[in-house]
């Protein structure tokens, strides 16, 4: 009998065990108006250590998809899988040098890698003894995984989403003091349009140290619902309607307000810098 398919969350936790933090982004920034129903999807994997030294490696894959499409989750999963394979290729082919990513693809369909001569040249031979370890309990990634579907639902309903599985949840330490790094999950959601008005970009952040897929999926769904309900409450038919002049929750501004404020600031700056008559 064939083994169960590895879930996307298992892939990401597996990368974390090898020191890679992963990020997913679903955004409409940069897309044409004709692509309003689609989102730009990206998956990044990063490490701040390599070949026993301190060096940054960032590998990534991108695509454009319709979050409401039946194949959206599988296409997003494909991005994660390709990044996972790219990381494994970097680990295998660059044991003593720092890799970087090129724009062309090889016969295996993956983006080609090359030696990052700048980063490699800054590795200190006498101090290449950095071997981080990760404090991730065994089996934490087991269970039903719906985190991709939860992110896609948020994107389908007009929010921009960015998440990160990263080791920045522990105490502040020196770069070389990195035994048993504490990992956690960070989610950022941004409402870009409400009540027919474009909203200035102001993402809201939600975090958890629980790495079980059920907890992560629940955080995404609950955070999305809370943010949606907040904007609905201040809308024309909400219980807090007319409580703010722009019809948005306190602290948020429309894109038009942001542009007007920046123009006013620029005009004031130019007036102040102008020579006296």
Closest CA to 66 of 58, 54, 74: 74
HSE-up of residue 21 (Cα within 13 Å, Cβ side): 21
The confidence score (pLDDT) of residue 2 equals: 45
Is 70 exceeded by the pLDDT of residue 43?
yes
pLDDT digits (tens, 9 = 90+) for 4-15: 579 999 999 999
Confidence of residue 178 (pLDDT cuts 50, 70, 90): confident
The confidence score (pLDDT) of residue 32 equals: 66
pLDDT digits (tens, 9 = 90+) for 129-170: 888 889 898 999 988 899 999 999 999 999 999 999 998 876
Handedness of CA 257, 258, 264, 265 (dihedral sign): positive
181-182 and 134-135 strand pairing: parallel
Q: Find how far residue 193's CA is from the centre of its chain.
A: 20
**What span, in angstroms and rounded, lies between the C-alpha atoms of 31 and 92?**
36
Average pLDDT on 195-216 reads 94
- For the record, the structure tokens of 149 come out as 């579907």
pLDDT digits (tens, 9 = 90+) for 258-272: 999 999 989 888 888
Give the pTM.
0.89
The confidence score (pLDDT) of residue 128 equals: 77
Average pLDDT on 203-209 reads 95
Q: How much is the mean pLDDT over the chain?
A: 90
Q: Is the separation of the CB atoms in 76 and 41 below 8 Å? A: yes
């Amino acid at each position: 009998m064939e083994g169960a398919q590895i879930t996307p969350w298992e892939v990401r936790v597996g990368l974390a065990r090898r020191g890679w933090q992963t990020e997913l982004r679903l955004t409409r920034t940069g897309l044409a108006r004709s692509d309003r129903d689609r989102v730009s999807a990206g998956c990044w994997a990063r490490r701040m250590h390599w070949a026993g030294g301190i060096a940054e490696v960032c590998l990534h894959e991108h695509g454009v998809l319709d979050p409401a499409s039946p194949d959206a989750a599988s296409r997003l999963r494909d991005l994660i899988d390709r990044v996972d394979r790219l990381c494994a290729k970097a680990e295998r082919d660059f044991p003593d040098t720092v890799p970087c990513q090129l724009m062309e693809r090889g016969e295996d369909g993956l983006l080609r890698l090359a030696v990052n001569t700048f980063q490699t040249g800054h590795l200190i031979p006498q101090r290449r003894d950095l071997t981080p370890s990760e404090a991730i309990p065994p089996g934490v990634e087991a269970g039903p995984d719906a985190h991709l579907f939860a992110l896609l639902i948020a994107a389908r309903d007009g929010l921009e989403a960015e998440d990160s599985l990263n080791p920045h949840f522990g105490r502040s330490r020196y770069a070389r003091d990195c035994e048993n790094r504490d990992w956690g999950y960070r989610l950022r959601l941004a409402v870009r349009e409400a009540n027919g008005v474009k909203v200035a970009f102001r993402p809201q952040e939600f975090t958890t140290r629980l790495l079980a897929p059920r907890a992560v999926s629940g955080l995404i769904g609950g955070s999305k619902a809370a943010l949606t309900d907040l904007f609905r409450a201040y809308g024309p038919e909400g219980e807090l309607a007319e409580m703010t002049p722009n019809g948005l929750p306190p602290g948020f501004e429309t894109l038009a307000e942001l542009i007007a404020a920046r123009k006013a600031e620029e005009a004031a700056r130019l007036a102040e810098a102008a020579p006296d008559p």
